[in-house]
Amino acid sequence: MYVRGDVSRDSRVLREARSAAAAGYRVTVIDQPVGPSPALAMPDLPPGLEVVHVARPARTYLALTLLRRPWRVASRGLQVAWSRRASPAKRVGGVAAALVLLPWMAARSVWNGLMQLLGRAGRLTWVDYVFDWRTSILPWCAAAAAVAPRADLHHGNDLDALAAAAASAKRDGVPYIYDSHEVFMAWGRHAAQPRPVRAVMARWERRLARAAAAVITVNDECADELARRLRVARPVVVRNCSPRWTPPVPSVDRLREAAGIPVGTDVVLCHGGFQAGRGLEETALAMRDPGLQSAHLVFLGYGGAFLDQIVADPALDGRVHRLPAVSPDELLDWIATADVDVAVFRAVDLNHVLSTPNKVFESLATGVPVVSSDMPARRRILLDGPDGPDGPDGPDGPLGAFCGPSPAAIAEAIRSILGATPQARAALRRRCKAAADTTWNWERESAALLAAYEALVPRRAG
C-alpha cells in the first residue's frame, strides 16, 4: 500500500492494512512521514503488517524554496559569506548565489504584490502546482516504488500515490488498485487550477484508473461521480466507518480533563484535520449564541494555525479550547466524552458536497450525535440509511441535526440537541450507537475490500 502522508494519521489506510493482514495477507505500507509527533506515535502493528517510511526527496525542499521563496536561499548564501568559519570558496559561492537570485527575487516579489492586490495572496499558482508535482509528488512516488518489495498486488491511496503503485505493479507484472478517497480533481487546490492544467491531470488520472484492476472509493455518491469522470466500471464502495467500539472501563472524561472544563458542562466537539471550508470559524461564532453560553467548544486535531486567534477571542470567555491530535487507536475514547460533534462543511467544491468525513462515522461509533451539512451523502448516513429512505437498514430516527453553514444555523442545530430533555438526549445517543453497531461499522465495510483483494489475489492456504 502506498500513501503520500503520515499513515499514523490516516485511519482508513491503517484499517485497510490491518484487515488485510488479519485475513492472511502480508502487507507493507509505504508512507511519507511528516516528522516526529509524540501524540501520533505509530500504533502497534499486527503480525504480517509493516510500515516503511519514505521521506520526500531532499532536493525537493531546495527546489520548492527557490521557486516560492528565493530570498530564503539568498539569505542563507549571505550567512555563509559572512561566517568566519567558512572557507574563501564558500564565501564567494554564497555571495554569487545571492547575486544570481536577485532578478528572480525581484520578479517573485512583484508577483506576490500583484496577488496581494488581487486578493489572491497565498494561493498556489498553476506554475507552483505543476512544479510541486514534478519536483515533489512524482519523485516521491519513484522513491517509494524503488524501495517497495515485490508483491502480488499494489494498492495506491489517492492520485498522489497512484503512480507509485502503477510503477511497482508494472515492475512485478501484477495488478494494482486505485483507492480514491476523494473526487481528486474536484477538490481544493486541484479544482482551482486553470482548465488546461485540470484537463491534463484528469486525462492522466483517467489513464491510470482505467489501467487499474479495480477502483475503490468512500461512498456511493463518489462512486457514481468517479465512474463518470474516469470512464470505469462503478468503483467498489468501502466507507470510512470505524470498528465497533466498546466503552473503556473505567471510563475517563478525556476532553473535559484535558481542556480543564468543569464536569457536567456540555462539550461541543470539532475534530479531525483543520482546513478552510470546514465551518470551524462559523462554529466558534455559533458559540456566542445566548442559548449556548454555558457550553464549551473543543477543537481536537491537527493543522489550522488560524484557530489560535479564535481560541484567544475574548468574546468567547475562554470557552473554546484547542487540543492536539491523538492516535487513531485512542480517538474514539476521546470523542465519546463529547455531547455533540460538528461536521459542517461549506460547499466550496464538489468534493466537499459529496464527502462523508471520517468524523461522522467516528462520532456515531461512540454514540455522539452529529450536527452536519445537509448534503446527500450525509443524509444517507444520518437519516436514510445505506439503501435510501425506503431501505431496510435506515435508523429509527435522525442521528443528529442538519443545518446550513452560517453561525446562526449551526447554533440552532446544536441547541436542538443540547436543549432536549435528558431522556431524549440519552435515546439519541443510543440510536447513534445502534446505527453504528448494526450498519456503519468497519467490520461490515471491510468485507467489500477483502472481496476485491480475493478476486485479484486469492489467499494461499497457510
pLDDT for residue 418 is more than 90: yes
346 and 292 share one domain: yes
268 and 225 share one domain: no
Mean pLDDT of all residues belonging to the chain: 88
312 and 350 share one domain: yes
pLDDT for residue 249 is more than 60: yes
227 and 262 share one domain: no
Q: How far is residue 279's CA from residue 342's CA, in Å, rounded to a whole number? A: 9
Residue 456 lies in a domain: no
340 and 418 share one domain: yes
431 and 386 share one domain: yes
When mean pLDDT is compared across 164-168, 192-196, 310-314, the lowest value belongs to 310-314
Mean of pLDDT values over 379-391: 78
Residue 454 lies in a domain: no
Spatial CA neighbour of 239 closest among 436, 42, 25: 436
Residue 462 lies in a domain: no
Q: Give the whole-number percent of the chain exceeding pLDDT 90.
A: 60
How many separate domains does the chain show?
3
Q: Which helix H or strand E contains 323, and what residues bound it?
A: strand 320-324
221 and 174 share one domain: yes
Using an 8 Å Cβ cutoff, are 188 and 160 in contact? no
Residue 461 lies in a domain: no
Residue 360 lies in a domain: yes
50 and 63 share one domain: no
Bigger pLDDT: 323 or 394? 323
Tell whether the torsion through CA atoms of 81, 82, 83 and 89 is positive or negative. Answer: positive
pLDDT for residue 176 is more than 70: yes
User: Residue 377, CB half-sphere, CA atoms under 13 Å: how many?
Assistant: 27
Residue 310 lies in a domain: yes
State phi, psi for 391 to the nearest 5 degrees. -80, 170
142 and 188 share one domain: yes
Domain boundary among 95, 117, 139: 117
pLDDT of residue 119: 63
Bigger pLDDT: 127 or 368? 368
DSSP SS3 for 53 = strand
Residue-wise pLDDT tens digits, 315-342: 888 899 999 988 888 999 999 999 999 9
Mean of pLDDT values over 45-56: 91
348 and 279 share one domain: yes
Q: Provide the CATH number for the domain around residue 424.
A: 3.40.50.2000
188 and 335 share one domain: no
Query: Residue 420 is part of which domain span?
Result: 254-440
DSSP string, 246-302: ---SS---HHHHHHTPPTT--EEEEEEE--TTSSHHHHHHHTTSGGGTT-EEEEEEE
Residue 246 lies in a domain: no
280 and 390 share one domain: yes
Query: 288: which residues sit within 8 A by CB, 6+ positions away?
Result: 315, 316, 407
Domain boundary among 207, 237, 267: 237
Using an 8 Å Cβ cutoff, are 5 and 34 in contact? yes
C-alpha cell at 270: 470539532
Residue 446 lies in a domain: no
Residue-wise pLDDT tens digits, 250-264: 889 999 999 999 999
**Taking the model in full, what pTM does it have?**
0.83
